[in-house]
């Protein structure tokens, strides 16, 4: 999934629910994060979502800084934040395999496959039924 090209960037894909994020890490002078051509602080409105998306950088200390470009599609804002976290974690492992232990311990490498259950015919929602009436 992750690839290296002649431009020396590292690319990885992260997923959560129906959100898919593609992250590109390019070595840079300082860390710059761009999500869908916006700054991370503008794209994710709350501090908690910003922290969730950029958590891999906080958990591993790297001497190298990266310019991070992320394209994220689908899902809601929370699913997108965790998809970005998954993609960045996978790209960091492609950069340095020694980071795998720290990221795996935090659970950033596991693809959280939980998604909304489909609606079944004859029911109101996935499992909700109409109220039973005796008379």
- Measure the CA–CA gap between 111 and 17, rounded to whole angstroms: 9
pLDDT at site 31 = 83
- Measure the CA–CA gap between 53 and 68, rounded to whole angstroms: 12
3-106 topology per CATH = Ribosomal Protein S5; domain 2 (3.30.230)
| pLDDT above 60 for 2 | no
Query: What's the chain's average pLDDT?
Result: 92
| pLDDT above 80 for 1 | no
Count of all residues that appear for the chain in the document: 135
Percent of residues, the chain, with pLDDT higher than 90: 83
Output the pTM of the full model: 0.86
Q: Are strands 65-73 and 32-35 parallel, antiparallel or unpaired?
A: parallel
For 35-59, the pLDDT digits (tens) are 999 999 999 999 999 999 999 999 9
Of 2 and 87, the structure prediction assigns the larger pLDDT to 87
10-28 core/surface letters (b: 16 or more CB in 10 A; e: else): bbbbbbbbebbbbbbbeee
Q: Are 54 and 88 in contact (CB under 8 A)?
A: yes
């Amino acid at each position: 999934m992750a690839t290296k090209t002649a431009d020396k960037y590292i690319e990885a894909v992260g997923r959560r629910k129906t959100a898919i994020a593609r992250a590109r890490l390019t070595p840079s002078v300082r860390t710059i994060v761009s999500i869908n051509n916006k700054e991370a602080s503008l794209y994710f409105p709350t501090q908690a979502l910003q922290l969730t998306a950029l958590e891999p950088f906080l958990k591993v200390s790297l001497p190298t800084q990266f310019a991070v470009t992320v394209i994220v599609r689908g899902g809601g804002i929370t699913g997108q934040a965790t998809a970005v976290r998954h993609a960045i974690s996978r790209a960091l492992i492609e950069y340095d395999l020694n980071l795998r232990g720290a990221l795996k311990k935090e659970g950033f490498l596991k693809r959280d496959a939980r998604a909304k259950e489909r609606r079944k015919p004859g029911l109101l929602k996935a499992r909700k039924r109409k109220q039973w009436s005796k008379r």
